[in-house]
Amino acid sequence: MGFDTHDYTAGKADWIAEGWETERAADSPRQARDELDRDVQTCAPTDTVAEVTAMVESSGLVVVVNTDRIVLGAIRSRHLQDAPEGSTAEEVMQPGPATVRPFEVLAPLLERMAKAHVTEMIVSTSEGRLLGVVRLPAS
């Protein structure tokens, strides 16, 4: 017939956790994936602080990922303040930052972020692959 078919055996929850589209009821609550900013600054763990500094200054957050885009850490300006010259991203990053899945209900997520004074939350798959960031709206 000229095409390949594949069975997705991991299940619906995993499908949604991957950030893939699903049909939802019109009255279903908004989810993290609905406000996902996929244009996130990233760097490799071996990148130097000098390379990362400009990215942090422009965006406020740089996510450290490996070649498969698995989240390894996060860098914010406070992580760069006392970084010795020649340091790498891996040496200054916050390892294992908090992440949420794309199906997280948005309103409670934003409430938790505001209460914790967190301006952005990393969104990843269940395997830890970066999908993007949800940002707290400016008040």
Amino acid present at 92: V
Whether residue 44 contacts residue 66, with contact meaning beta carbons closer than 8 Å, is answered with: yes
Half-sphere exposure of 8 (CA within 13 A, CB side): 8
pTM of the model: 0.80
Task: Per-residue pLDDT tens, the chain, 139 aa: give them.
Answer: 566 666 656 555 555 555 556 565 566 888 999 999 999 999 999 999 999 998 988 888 999 999 999 999 999 988 888 888 889 999 999 999 999 999 999 999 999 999 999 999 999 999 999 999 999 987 6
Task: Classify residue 8: in a domain, yes or no.
Answer: no
- Indicate whether 76 belongs to any domain: yes
**Structural domains counted in the chain:** 1
> Is residue 4, in this structure, part of any structural domain at all?
no
Identify the pLDDT of residue 122. Answer: 97
For residues 131 and 125, what is the distance between their CA atoms, to the nearest angstrom?
7
Instruction: Say what the pLDDT of residue 11 is.
Output: 54
Give the CATH number of the domain where residue 37 resides.
3.10.580.10
Element (H, E) at 32: none
Please report whether residue 36 resides in a domain.
yes
- Look up the domain containing 104 and give its range: 14-20+29-135
